[in-house]
Amino acid sequence: MSDWFKTLVHRYEQMRFDQEPRRSRLPFAWGLEHLAAETNGDDPRSFLNSYVEDTIARSEEWYALTTAADYAVRDGVLTFTSAISSPWPENNRVYGQLFRAKRKAAAVVVLAQWNARWEEQQNVCRWLQHLGVTAVKMSLPYHDRRAIPNHPRADHLVGPNIGLTMQAMRQAVVDVRRTLRWLEQEGYSRLGVLGTSVGSAIGFIALCHEPALRAGAFVHASTYFGEVVASGLTTTNVWEPLAEAGLAVEELRRFWSPISPFPYIGRLRSAGKEILLITGRYDPTFSPELTAQLLAKLRSEGVEFEHVALPCGHYSMGVWPFSSIAGYRFGKFLARALT
């Protein structure tokens, strides 16, 4: 019965993947210029090996931020300038859809999945609002109103440009922290994060580095960013140019380790943060094997967490009944943890 249902889920996942006609296949690039002003003609692999080791060791500095000077709210949308400057001005303005609850105490930054549209996950925010939690749905880099010319999809948040992808993920984490600073200025003291898919990775890293975050709920969970790209169904168009350029999975795992949850798990030990993970038992994008490795690492580090495994995949997590089950669980979890 379980094998039959797994096959059914995988067929649905493949069907949904095949329905996306605008998927781009960008060329491979090292993109070191997005990481350092001067590389002095260094061999890219040698540069990245040193850069990655140093970045993980000083991740608190790499993900550090200053408070924005230009916060503004108009027609229910928070805007401010990103602390990380990418080559595209359109991407450097952050947008957050604001769903205020009646009580000003608890608030959650909501991070949607890769290529989510402006209107997606608004019902998630309304559900949190109904539960007494203010929600800010933050547009991820290169998404919706932050999209850059000729790229309606968020090709540069997850792409075969090594350095640009690292810059974009770093930008996303710092944008979350700037959003939290605004919420604190508004009087919110009980703060959480809710992330889905790539938003889960961004939110998890933020949870590991942001003292103000009390709780995090993550829909889909995995180990290393590079492993997901190399093995996942929805990132085949990203992995193929990387593989054709001669990168091994182990290399990509290491190069993108600073933008992965796994290296920072130890920071959660004794941190007193509440964590919920909701995963798909038959997920062909965030594979169950990688999820199991993350759960084992959390346990070995003594990090307390709650885990819900649903009999679905990546896309199918967003359809009934799994969407309702997941929504009920993360809504009640965040409401309890923050209020």
Cβ–Cβ under 8 Å, residues 138 and 180: no
Summarize pLDDT for 210-253 with one digit per residue, the tens.
999 999 999 999 999 999 999 999 999 999 999 999 999 999 99
One-letter amino acid of 43: D
The share of the chain scoring above pLDDT 90, in percent, equals: 91
| All domains of the chain in start order, with CATH | 2-338 (3.40.50.1820)
Residue 19: predicted pLDDT? 87
The pTM (predicted TM-score) of the whole model is 0.96
Quick one: average pLDDT of 286-291? 96
Largest CA distance in the chain: 59
Phi and psi for 104 in degrees, rounded to 5? -95, 85
CA dist 39 and 317 (Å) reads 43
